[in-house]
Amino acid sequence: MKITKNAVATLEYTLTDDAGELIDTSEGDTPLIYIHGTDSLIPRLETELDGKAVGDELKVHLKPEDAYGERDDEMLQTMPRTDLPEDVELEVGMQFQAESDDGIHIVSVAAIVGDDVVIDANHPLAGVALNFDVKVIEVREATSEELEHGHVHGDAEGCQHD
Ligand code: ZN
């Protein structure tokens, strides 16, 4: 069968940036399994996968605006070092979770300037063009239970989560 709305597709993938640097891969790890048409993946990637079948391989190039968006300088925030936990040794590039009004975000340390720290709340892949190398491994219908839950269940009977 083909990948259509409410199909469960299993994918092997490798994700690189435009410089050819590896960002993520399913190689040596579990493949990606998702329910098509439920906005589980980047929308443009789901569009490209529509109608594909087992064995199909595709390369998808996504500009930043079609992936995680452009970088936004307004998401840089300077705060005094004393506002951050004392026992953490800060380094430029380190990432941590920060809680804000609309949930938990991954933020990173963009710079340390004297007694101030510049925190970057942009998505780590904002401003990055993405190149997906995808191979379709399996396609099946979602079960009614999976559709009800909005996620894929494992091979064993029943729901495998709390
Ligand atoms: Zn479930």
At 45-80, the pLDDT tens digits run 999 999 999 999 999 999 999 999 999 999 999 999
pLDDT value of residue 156? 57
In degrees, rounded to 5, the angle at the alpha carbon of residue 46 between the alpha carbons of residues 158 and 124 is 95
- Enumerate residues with CB within 5 Å of ligand 1 (an ion): 149, 159
Cβ 46 vs Cβ 116: under 8 Å: no
> How is the chain split among helix, strand and coil, in percent rounded to 5?
15, 40, 45
Burial of 86 (0-12, 13-18, 19+ CB in 10 A): exposed
Ligand 1 centroid to Cα of residue 138, in Å, is 20
* Class of the CATH domain delimited by 7-68+126-149: alpha beta
CATH 2.40.10.330 for domain 73-120, yes or no, is yes
Ligand 1 centroid to Cα of residue 146, in Å, is 6
Model confidence at 157: pLDDT above 70: no
Ligand 1 centroid to Cα of residue 33, in Å, is 14
Ligand 1 centroid to Cα of residue 55, in Å, is 28
What's the pTM?
0.78
Model confidence at 159: pLDDT above 80: no
> What does the domain layout of the chain look like in residue ranges?
7-68+126-149, 73-120
Confidence of residue 155 (pLDDT cuts 50, 70, 90): low
pLDDT value of residue 160? 66
